[in-house]
Every structure is written in C-alpha cells, then in structure tokens.
C-alpha cells in the first residue's frame, strides 16, 4: 500500500487526477483506470483494443463471492448458529482471492481471464496467502475514507496495490512446482 500511495501521489502521476473517472461507468471505467495504472507501472503502453467485458467479469467475480458469503450467513442463521455467520467474511474473500488478478489479466488480453486469474492466485502463493494480503487491502479500500484518507483515494490505492502486486509477479520467475501453498 505504501508503494501504491507513492505512485498515486507522485507529482508526475496522472492517477490521482484521473481517479474520478474510475468509478464513473462501473467496472469498465475502473478497469480503464487500472490499465492506466499498469501503463504507468510498466512504463510502456498496453496494446489496444481490450475486448473483455469488464461489467460481466466484475459482476461474476463479486456475485460469486457474495452468493457464497450470503449462503453461509443464511445457513448459519437457519441452523440457529448466528455467531458463525461472521464466517461469511473470510468465505467472501476466499472466493474473491481466486479472481484478485482478474482485471489485470483481462487488461493484458487473456482469452480466459477467470482461468488465468486462478493461475496467478496459485503463483502468488495460493488462496490463504492471497487472502492474507487482500483482506488488509480491502479494509483500506472500504474504510480509508472514514479514517480521513478519502473514499475515492482509498479505493484507487487498493486497485493500484493489486496492479503493483500483479506486475511484481509478472516480472519474477515462478516458484518451482510444489513450493506454493496453493489451495
């Protein structure tokens, strides 16, 4: 998150000036802002056109995570164990972790972005390791505005942190087979 803040706040960066565009048209405009961030991180253009349907990708990713989480919460309440409904939060992020790199791989033109995103989750160390990184980023994205850091800025920093993480993975050699804790 520190690197994301440095990049976002850098005087020569256009990311903070264009952040308002990120949420203007849903998942597509968010993805285009992430594309701009990836170009800035890489220092080279990303070829056009991007043909992915980012609205569909976003709704499927967050819809799946929400359905699993909501299903758990409803089940726990139905069997009269409402205290266990809190488990819906890690379940949401366990599903979300499978697609944490969904937008970056789609921006890079992957023809099967869900499959590719899952491969990147494995490459990043597996579900538990990704959750351990994503959940604190999510807290910043969702609660940063309440801490006086600005809601839009906090959301963009989280997206930017994912882009930075993806680029680090993309530029590092994969771990030898069998050494990750992929779940």
Nearest alpha carbon to residue 140 among 152, 128, 127: 152
pLDDT for residue 74 is more than 70: yes
The answer, yes or no, to whether residue 183 has pLDDT greater than 50, is no
Q: Sorting pLDDT into bands at 50, 70 and 90, what band is 68?
A: very high
pLDDT number for residue 35: 93
Q: How far apart are CA 74 and CA 79, in angstroms?
A: 9
Question: Average pLDDT for residues 27-34, to the nearest whole number?
Answer: 92
Model confidence at 157, in pLDDT bands (50, 70, 90)? very high
Q: Looking up tokens 């990708």, which residue turns up?
A: 57
The proportion of the chain whose per-residue pLDDT surpasses 90, expressed as a percent, equals 69
Helix axes 151-170, 127-143, angle to 10 degrees: 150
Candidates 121, 120, 67, 125; CA nearest to 97 is 121
Query: What was the pLDDT predicted at 182?
Result: 47
Nearest-10 Cα torsion for 105, 88, 28, 113: 20
Angle ∠(15,139,145) on CA atoms, nearest 5 = 60
Q: How confident is the model at residue 17 (pLDDT cuts 50, 70, 90)?
A: confident
Question: Mean pLDDT, to the nearest integer, of 52-64?
Answer: 96
- Give the tens place of pLDDT for each residue, 99-150: 999 999 999 999 999 999 999 999 999 999 999 999 999 999 988 888 877 8
**165, pLDDT greater than 60:** yes
């Amino acid at each position: 998150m520190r690197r994301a803040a440095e990049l976002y706040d850098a005087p020569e960066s256009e990311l903070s000036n264009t952040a308002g565009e990120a949420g203007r048209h849903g998942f597509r405009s968010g993805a285009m802002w992430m594309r701009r961030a990836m170009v800035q991180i890489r220092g080279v253009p990303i070829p056009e056109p991007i043909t992915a349907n980012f609205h569909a990708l976003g709704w499927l990713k967050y819809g799946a995570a929400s359905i699993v989480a909501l299903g758990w919460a409803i089940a726990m309440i139905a069997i009269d164990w409402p205290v266990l409904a809190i488990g819906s939060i890690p379940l949401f992020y366990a599903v979300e972790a499978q697609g944490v790199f969904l937008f970056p791989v789609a921006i890079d033109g992957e023809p099967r972005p869900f499959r590719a995103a899952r491969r990147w989750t494995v490459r990043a160390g597996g579900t538990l390791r990704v959750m351990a990184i994503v959940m604190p980023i999510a807290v910043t994205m969702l609660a940063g505005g309440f801490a006086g850091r600005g809601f839009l800025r906090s959301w963009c920093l989280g997206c930017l942190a994912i882009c930075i993480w993806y680029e680090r993975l993309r530029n590092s050699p994969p771990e030898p087979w069998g050494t990750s804790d992929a779940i």
